[in-house]
Amino acid sequence: MNNRPLELFHRHKHNPILKAENWPYQANSVFNPGATLLPDGTTLLLCRVEDRRGLSHFCAARSANGVDGWKIDPRPTLIPDAEHLSEELWGIEDPRITYLPELKQYAVVYTAYSSDGPGVALTLTKDFVHFERYGMIMQPEDKDAAVLPRRINGHWVLIHRPVSGKKNANMWISFSSNLRHWGGQKQIMEARLGGWWDANRIGLSPPPIETPEGWLVIYHGVKKNVSGSIYRLGLALFDLEAPGHCLKRGDEWVFGPEEQCELCGDVDKVVFSCGTTLLPDGDTLRLYYGAADTSIAMAEGSVKAMLKWLSRK
């Protein structure tokens, strides 16, 4: 009998595909990149680079095939602007990229690490060279955020993960007419409790992926045990025109740390994704992820297979 779990993601055989030693300048670790396909088919990863002070900034890496031949910006692409934005005092982390056709710009939503903890910040860019910074849009503690690519009922939509007091960390939605001022907050998905893989803390991983059946959401869950935390990924589906409404949620995780580079690094047993690209066949999804907060790896899966998996039971 074959009792192996269905593998929805297949790792690239050359993982990790990007490491700190590939960087043109000194870095401690490179991980959790945002991802997008540029109009000419180039894959752009906006990588989180942690320096040897322990603070992070972003650096763009571009590749024609999304796997190798990376051209890495010779200097940091976006650095924390602590002078003007004190909210970025301790660095910027985990960028999530969404192309907004209405504005013909990319929104990069990221974690700004302030002395009061992490909050959500937003910047717009046309070229990943010049950035229009909106600063912090959600105060601490809040992170794991991305915007949807289009307005829904006239409003931009942000998925994010606030934490209040000692309560669990759940996924929320907010709305805005101008990307600056957000309201209408509502909780949309709760962490489970007890021994579940996604007990107590969950958060959006890459920006939601629009499919005919709904917004496909890859989210992370954290399991704490006596030897530490395990970061894994699961799937959920949200209504296309009411993105606060969860239609389906898988019970089991679909991707977790297994390979050496995922099990062992600055933070052991972590796969953490902030970006995907959809290949021109409209089905193959490339998941770029940080491995153990140390390097960048990639795995591929089929959107159709993920939707089918969510519909089983």
Q: What is the DSSP string of 242-286?
A: -TTSEEEE-SS-SB---SHHHHSSSSSSBEEEEEEEE-TTSSEEE
- Angle at CA 251, nearest 5°, toward 94 and 259? 55
Considering the rule CB under 6 A, would residue 162 count as an interface residue with ligand BMA? no
Q: Candidates 240-248, 267-275, 276-284, 297-305 — which segment interacts with ligand BMA by CB under 6 A?
A: 267-275
Task: Quickly count: other Cβ atoms within 10 Å of residue 52's Cβ.
Answer: 10
Considering the rule CB under 6 A, would residue 246 count as an interface residue with ligand BMA? no
- Binding to ligand BMA in span 13-32, by CB under 6 A: 32
Q: Candidates 37-45, 66-74, 206-214, 266-274 — which segment interacts with ligand BMA by CB under 6 A?
A: 266-274
194-223 core/surface letters (b: 16 or more CB in 10 A; e: else): eebbbbbbbbbbbbbbebebbbbbbbbbbb
- Show the tokens assigned to 46: 């906006």
Which of 70, 197, 231, 253 touches ligand BMA by CB under 6 A?
231
Query: Shortest gap between Cβ of 51 and ligand BMA (angstroms)?
Result: 15
- Binding to ligand BMA in span 97-126, by CB under 6 A: none
Which of 87, 93, 141, 198 touches ligand BMA by CB under 6 A?
93
Which of 73, 94, 141, 142 touches ligand BMA by CB under 6 A?
94
Considering the rule CB under 6 A, would residue 50 count as an interface residue with ligand BMA? no
Strands of the sheet containing 183-189, edge to edge, are: 142-147, 156-162, 171-176, 183-189
Q: Which residues bind ligand BMA (CB under 6 A)?
A: 32, 93-94, 231, 267, 270, 272, 290, 293
